[in-house]
A and B are shown apart, each in its own frame.
Chain A
């Protein structure tokens, strides 16, 4: 009987963690992309005009249920506990039905349950996970107050149940493999956003710049562009032989980027200096308007 009671009680922190984790994952994806569009996968069964409000409603419900589960687990608001736990059970039952529908009508989309981690097409495991969580929520209705167990076997039992259930949920979560892959993944430099002013700052601190600075005749670059993992910066200059262009390549790397330089005699024909000659104003960041 003690074990059954412990199982019932341990559903509360587990469900609260899953709900708050799901909400946080969705919110972090929205905040990073600064757009609600990226989390609309979960609501792609709705007509387009309802997807945004539906996504917001799902996030808000997860937050409310997660906080409510925790807040009502102790004595102060325990009277509301059964209501929250029942609502959580219904929420996961609806989620399970939604995933079944998603698999049938949009088999190419992920459920978006845990934000960008759930971008792979929803599988049977996702359905089973939602069902398991619904069952866990319904089982917790008669779990009573959540209290800290006394140190000893009771605490070990609670902890063991919690860990076992987490492992079960993890087994049913296709997102775990994605999460593990991301932990060991750094975004390739060619896909990374790299502000040009950072490249210029790195360049000004470099030995290559000090070596060629005496040739440079203009403070701002006349051309600057980024290609894959490199920023290319071109300054007009003058060496002993006449007009020249000094070209720097600055690697896109947070620390100690590789920097290379070349001096080219100015070719006949259109010069890169023509562009700033027509529009000599710099941008707010002090960059050349050339790019």
Chain B
């Protein structure tokens, strides 16, 4: 796969209201100049009207954000392929755990306190399957609600974190992972119980090696528990690339979709980082050695992607909020349901990933992505 040039220009990405406003403005302009004139894709009603500054409107309960609540994150039922006709609609709640019991979770969200019932089928992940009573107040939790209910938790993830990038320093059993120029470097330590499993997948844990791990976040430290890529160990500067991302049509492509933690409180809770931002705008988030995937069409911050989870059938339309620097380093397949074509085609925020039916501890889902509309 030939590398493509990546510029070094920097601009405000993942920057909360400013980036969302830019995305909204661009959609409005694009719609005005005749809704994608003549590019062969859907030119009809397709332009997604985004609300002011792209902010999702709130659902009936405080703190709950539904993909259908904001127009920019709408359900994909209107997709030309009709993907989401029978797909389950997932909603999530993100916040800090205040209290827990075998029957109920109390979560502080940005919009207020939420009380969520735990049903017998509710599962809890905290470094592995856990009991709800094992959760600790003060932990960051992400809760997927039972489809069709606003007060019951389907699955709870507590303190889940991920580090995907290049090791920049190592020593004393701890190493620092560089996830791109615009994200803070992550300190990672391997949990003793997972050391063998991780060492098999990543035998080279030296500066320059590419890694991707999921684990428990303890403040600024990530305790790695699960190796989350099938890519053989390699140095970032010497990665070997074979045939990649499958393109089925102009603007439609398949591959692996992963997730990342929000870079900070200012980052949009929903959105997608995309690896092939046009080189004129530059992938400001990437290190120069990460080549742009040659099979992905060039897009800009503010473009809309319709992401279809092939494992659950769910589809969402998400805005491109930044360049997926870490995704450029990986050329792996997702094995969540079947085997995806090689290459990561989008890196979603954690909330978007879960709302599409993905399980974060499984690292990825097989997806077909098309440029919306």
Interface residues of A (CB under 8 A from B): 29, 32-35, 37-38, 40-41, 44, 48-49, 51-52, 108-110, 116, 119-120, 188, 190-191, 193-196, 223, 225-230, 232, 234, 245, 247-249, 251, 258, 260-262, 264, 267, 269-270, 272, 283, 291
Contacts and interface: CB of A to CB of B under 8 A. Distances in A.
Nearest to A120: B243
B299 A228 contact: yes
A51 B298 CA distance: 30
A226 B281 contact: yes
Given A48-B234, A191-B297, A32 B371 contact: no
Contacts of A269: 21, 52-53
A249 B239 contact: no
B25 interface: yes
B30 A228 contact: no
B301 interface: yes
A88 to B, nearest CB: 27
B36 interface: yes
Contact of B39 (A52, A119, A191, A228): A228
A288 to B, nearest CB: 11
14 contacts: A33-B3, A35-B291, A37-B3, A194-B280, A195-B280, A223-B22, A225-B26, A226-B299, A230-B36, A230-B37, A249-B37, A260-B37, A261-B33, A269-B21
Nearest to B243: A119
Interface in B32-61: 32-34, 36-39, 41, 52-53
Interface string B232-250: 0011011111110000001
B300 interface: yes
A223 B26 contact: yes
B303 interface: yes
B300 A227 contact: yes
Contacts of A262: 29, 32-34
Contacts of A232: 26, 29-30, 33
A190 B251 contact: yes
Sorted from nearest, which 9 A-B pairs have the closest CB atoms? A190-B297, A225-B300, A262-B32, A226-B278, A262-B33, A249-B33, A247-B29, A48-B238, A33-B2
Interface residues of B, number: 52
Q: Point out which of B238, B294, B295 has the most chain A C-beta atoms below 10 A from its C-beta.
A: B238
Contacts of A34: 3, 5
A272 B278 contact: no
B227 interface: no
Given A40-B240, A223-B25, A283-B9, 13 more contacts: A37-B237, A37-B239, A48-B238, A51-B238, A116-B2, A190-B297, A196-B280, A227-B299, A228-B250, A264-B28, A269-B52, A291-B281, A291-B300
A270 B52 CA distance: 10
B208 to A, nearest CB: 10
Contact of A291 (B1, B3, B11, B25): B11
Contacts, number: 143
B85 interface: no
Interface of B: 1-5, 9, 11, 18, 21-22, 25-26, 28-30, 32-34, 36-39, 41, 52-53, 234-235, 237-243, 250-251, 278-281, 291, 294-303, 371
A265 B96 CA distance: 43
Contacts of A258: 37-38
Contact of B242 (A109, A195, A283): A109
B250 A188 contact: yes
B266 to A, nearest CB: 16
Contacts of B241: 37-38, 41
Contacts of A225: 26, 278, 281, 300-302
Contact of A191 (B33, B294, B371): B294
Contact of B32 (A44, A223, A247): A247
Given A225-B302, A270-B53, A291-B280, A230 B240 contact: no
A234 B29 contact: yes
A160 to B, nearest CB: 38
A29 B237 CA distance: 18
A270 B41 CA distance: 30
A108 B39 contact: no
Contacts of B295: 191
A120 B9 CA distance: 35
Given A38-B3, A110-B242, A260 B251 contact: no
Nearest to B279: A193
Question: Which among A34, A194, A229, A264 has the highest number of chain B CB atoms within 10 Å?
Answer: A229
A152 B299 CA distance: 61
Counting chain A CB atoms within 10 Å of each CB, the highest count among B38, B242, B250, B371 belongs to B242
Contacts of B250: 188, 190, 228
B238 A38 contact: no
Nearest to A267: B28
A35 B11 CA distance: 26
A208 to B, nearest CB: 10
